[in-house]
Structure 1
Amino acid sequence: MPSSVPSPVPSPVPSPVPAARPRQRLNPTLGKARGLLRDALRDAGIQPGGDAPPVLLVACSGGPDSLALAETASFFNRRGDYRVGAAVVDHGLQPGSADVAQAAAAKLAAMGLEPVTVHRVHVPETGMGPEAAARSVRYEALDEAADASGAAAVLLGHTLDDQAEQVLLGLARGSGTRSLAGMPERRGRYLRPFLGLRRAEVEEICTAREVDPWHDPTNADPAYARSRVRTTVLPFLERELGPGIAEALYRSSRILAQDADYLEAQAAETYARLRQESAGAAAPDEILLSEESLRALPPSLRQRVLALAAVELGGAQPSWERVRAVEALLRREGSAGPVQLVGKVSAYRQVRGKPVPQGDPSYGNLVFRKKSSA
Structure 2
Amino acid sequence: MDRAGAELIVASPPSARPLLPETPAIHEVRLAVRAWLHAHPSREVTVALSGGPDSAALTAAALAEAEVVHAVVVDHRLQSGSGIVAERAAEFARERGCATARVVGVEVTGRGGLEAAARAARYRALDEHRDGRPVLLGHTLDDQAETVLLGLGRGAGLRSIRGMAAFDRPWGRPLLEVRRDTTRRACRELGYEPYEDPHNADDRFTRVRLRREVLPLLEDVLNGGVAEALARTAGQLQEDGHALDLWAADLRARACLEGDRLDAGVLASAPAAVRRRAVRSWLIDHTVSPNETMLRAVDDLVAAWRGQGPVAVGRGAGPGTRLVVSRRRGSLAVEYVDRPKAQATGRR
The TM-score normalised by the length of structure 1 is 0.79
Counterparts in 2 of 1:84 and 1:291: CA distance versus 1, 3 Å: closer
Root-mean-square deviation over aligned CA pairs: 2.1
Deviation, 1:364, is 1.8
Match of 1:10 in 2: none
The list of structure 1 runs, each at least 4 consecutive aligned residues, that deviate by more than 6 angstroms after superposition, is none
Match of 1:283 in 2: none
Counterpart of 2:48 (choices 40, 59, 80) is 59
Counterpart of 1:309 (choices 278, 282, 295) is 282
Which whole-Å CA distance do the structure 2 matches of 1:97 and 1:182 have between them? 30
Which whole-Å CA distance do the structure 2 matches of 1:301 and 1:267 have between them? 5
| Range moving further from structure 2, 220-229 or 266-275 | 266-275
Residue 84 of structure 1 aligns to a residue whose secondary structure is strand
Cα pair 2:135 2:170 within 8 Å, conserved: yes
Counterparts in 2 of 1:333 and 1:67: CA distance versus 1, 3 Å: closer
In the TM superposition, 1:252-267 aligns within 5 A as 252-267=233-248
Cα pair 1:313 1:369 within 8 Å, conserved: no
| Range moving further from structure 2, 364-373 or 258-267 | 364-373
Which whole-Å CA distance do the structure 1 matches of 2:45 and 2:338 have between them? 44
Equivalent residue letter for 1:28: P
Which whole-Å CA distance do the structure 2 matches of 1:269 and 1:310 have between them? 16
Counterpart of 1:325 (choices 272, 285, 297) is 297
Counterparts in 2 of 1:103 and 1:315: CA distance versus 1, 3 Å: same
Render the CA deviation track for 1:194-226: whole Å, top value 9, x for unaligned. 010000000010111111001111111111111
Render the CA deviation track for 1:118-155: whole Å, top value 9, x for unaligned. 1111112x2233222222221222123221xx63x321
Match of 2:269 in 1: 296
Counterparts in 2 of 1:218 and 1:268: CA distance versus 1, 3 Å: same
How many equivalent residue pairs? 315
Equivalent residue letter for 1:289: L
Which whole-Å CA distance do the structure 2 matches of 1:371 and 1:87 have between them? 46
% identical aligned pairs: 39
Query: Is 1:194 the equivalent of 2:175?
Result: yes
Match of 1:111 in 2: 96
Match of 1:134 in 2: 118
Deviation, 1:265, is 1.8
Render the CA deviation track for 1:7-31: whole Å, top value 9, x for unaligned. xxxxxxxxxxxxxxxxx97212211
Q: Which runs of 5+ in 1 are unaligned?
A: 1-23, 47-53, 279-286, 351-362
Deviation, 1:332, is 5.6
Which whole-Å CA distance do the structure 1 matches of 2:327 and 2:160 have between them? 30
The TM-score normalised by the length of structure 2 is 0.85
Equivalent residue letter for 1:141: A
Equivalent residue letter for 2:23: N
Residue 129 of structure 2 aligns to a residue whose secondary structure is helix
Deviation, 1:269, is 2.0
Render the CA deviation track for 1:93-126: whole Å, top value 9, x for unaligned. 11211111111111222212221111111112x2
If asked which structure has higher relative contact order (CA below 8 Å, sep 6+), I would say: 2
**Structure label with greater radius of gyration:** 1
Render the CA deviation track for 1:163-215: whole Å, top value 9, x for unaligned. 00000000000022122111110022321110100000000101111110011
Match of 1:29 in 2: 25
Deviation, 1:297, is 0.7
Which whole-Å CA distance do the structure 2 matches of 1:195 and 1:333 have between them? 43
Counterpart of 1:84 (choices 61, 64, 69) is 69
Q: Which runs of 5+ in 2 are unaligned?
A: 1-19, 316-321, 340-348
Cα pair 1:167 1:180 within 8 Å, conserved: yes
Cα pair 2:21 2:190 within 8 Å, conserved: no
Render the CA deviation track for 1:244-293: whole Å, top value 9, x for unaligned. 00000000000111111111122122112211244xxxxxxxx4222221
Cα pair 1:237 1:245 within 8 Å, conserved: yes
Cα pair 1:263 1:301 within 8 Å, conserved: yes
Deviation, 1:59, is 0.8
Counterparts in 2 of 1:212 and 1:365: CA distance versus 1, 3 Å: same
Cα pair 1:313 1:370 within 8 Å, conserved: no
Residue 289 of structure 1 aligns to a residue whose secondary structure is strand
